[in-house]
Amino acid sequence: MKHLQFDYVIVGGGSAGCVVAARLAADSGGTVALLERGRSDSNRWIHIPATFFKALQSQDAEAVISDPDPSLGGLPFPVPQGRVLGGGSSVNGMLYMRGQARDYDEWETEHGCTGWAYRDVLPVFMRQEANRQFDNAFHGTNGPLVVDGPSAPHPVAARLIDATVSAGVPRTDDFNGARQEGAGWYQVTASGGQRQSAAHCFLRPQLGRENLRLLTGHSVARLVIENRRAVAVEAHDAAGQPVRIAAARQIVLTAGSFQTPKLLMLSGIGPRDELTRHGIDIIHEADEVGRNYQDHVGAPVTRRLTGAKGLHGADKGLAALRHGIDYFVFRRGLLTSNLLQAGACVDTDGDGRPDVQYNMAPFAPGAPGQPPLDFHAVQVHPMTMRPASRGRLGLASRDPADAPKFSSCVLGRDEDMDTLRRGVRLAREILDQPELREILGDEVWPGADLSTAIGSNTLDDAIRKQARTIFHPAGTCRMGPTETAVVDPELRVYGIEGLRVADCSVMPALVSGNTNAPTMMIADRAADWILRDCAGA
């Protein structure tokens, strides 16, 4: 077995891992290894904003598929994940959403995570940003992460925003400012025709450092723990050969909400029943490892476009040629766009706090697991912002190559179904506004023959069949103030020295919005604490 030695070993080269590795390489003076199961982000579809859907269909993404979910009528719940340098930030829709101030305040007040209130995290968001639109009390302009407005705004998307305002939703120009509520254009991690992933913005500028080594194609099998201290990882390299990679100072898990708890359990850290079932020696009993799974769930209301063109067919024939020339010659046009340009955050239950996020676009997905619709269409896609339902991850076997066992239960709580009911009703109302009547045809889903009236069981059945992930799994290694949680508020794994988790699995409750920005913030804070510990050593 080959042996390597570093001061810091970062497991998982996604959004979080790229941030932690870059910070430690630049500021610690120690040697840093960043391990990633997938390959480098060389796929050209990653870097062209409009082709993110092609990256999601490539070897750079994989789906974790749940057991049959009773809350979805027995359907499985597949959750695609990036398996490439940059992780989700290399294959996602590039929306930059932090969530609500109250989300973080509640991490502190309701979940006991001292130091995670909005006043604590806002400065980190700001120092990361190089915002091309805003320079104010909520945004930074000198950070490594380029955040911009949408490129080549689509006229149909503009109409969708106007229609949402006509339906009674206020207009906003900044979902990350003083107030999240409203309808408007998203901010995106794409600018100048280039995806601004964590790998591109944080990691790549540091890769020339002698103290940073990037190891792609390395699959970690387990942690090596001696005297209750994490000292190394055992992995297989890109050629399939075993390698032991030791960490003199600290190991940081940044492998995401599926792989991080799986690795902890394979290493003897997890629920007793789960470890015993697979014959794994218990090093530290931690019941919450793999529990608390949560995700944003949506059901896109769709209508045919008849009086205008959307994006159907834009990647084929002469249209594709024209867009290619615009992009590669002039760096302009459709391919510079992230496509998911418009959205809304709406208070549908009247409690004064948005509970439904809408993605709005001039194209429409098919049913879960099916390709996009093969005609011009629009979507107004409601999704739960603070789901109450919780699932669980376990081990399928002791084989590190096996996917985790996944019980999703994503609509297991009545309040989540009720939120989607309200979301679907408002989406229909938006699509019936005067701004859209001359360009829209028949309703594709839920369909004109299906009632969305209060008390309609047929609507519930339709939502269960249409429900899909918004690609935001979180919570499976939640942080908290006592050892009933997996990590403490400084992200140290309870019961084990020299080990932190610094990805979205630590969220005690899912934020009200997309998770890429919060994940990078979490990673940056972890780097702060690691550097402080290094300075005090």
CATH number of this structure's domain 1-115+198-296+392-408+468-537: 3.50.50.60
Element (H, E) at 85: none
φ/ψ of 112, rounded to 5, equals: 75, 20
Domain boundaries, the chain: 1-115+198-296+392-408+468-537, 151-185+298-384+412-466
pLDDT tens, residue by residue, 172-186:
999 999 999 999 999
pLDDT tens, residue by residue, 394-414:
999 999 999 999 999 999 999
Alpha carbon distance 516, 525 (integer Å): 15
Q: Which residue has the higher pLDDT, 287 or 453?
A: 287
pLDDT tens, residue by residue, 215-257:
999 999 999 999 999 999 999 999 999 999 999 999 999 999 9
- DSSP letter for 290, please: T
Alpha carbon distance 98, 523 (integer Å): 14
Region 127-149: mean pLDDT is 98
Question: Would you list the DSSP string of 141-186?
Answer: SSSSEEEBPPSS--HHHHHHHHHHHHTTPPB-S-TTSS---EEEEP
pLDDT at residue 150, rounded to an integer:
95
Q: Alpha helix locations (H) across 332-480?
A: 414-431, 434-437, 457-466
Amino acid found at 497:
E
537 confidence band (pLDDT: 50, 70, 90)? low
Alpha carbon distance 446, 381 (integer Å): 12
Closest Cα to residue 529, out of 263, 249, 270?
249
The structure tokens 């935001």 sit at 472
Does pLDDT of 363 surpass 80?
Answer: yes
* Burial of 74 from C-beta contacts in 10 A (0-12 / 13-18 / 19+): exposed
Query: Is-same-fold flag (1-115+198-296+392-408+468-537; 151-185+298-384+412-466)?
Result: no
Token code pair at residue 161: 């925003």
- DSSP letter for 199, please: I
| Active-site residue, selected from the candidate residues 111, 139, 376, 472 | 472
Report the interhelical angle of 118-128 vs 516-536 (nearest 10°).
100
Architecture of domain 151-185+298-384+412-466: 2-Layer Sandwich (3.30)
Alpha carbon distance 423, 299 (integer Å): 9
pLDDT tens, residue by residue, 187-225:
999 999 999 999 999 999 999 999 999 999 999 999 999
Q: Among this protein's residues, is 139 annotated catalytic?
A: no
Tell me the three state secondary structure of residue 234.
strand
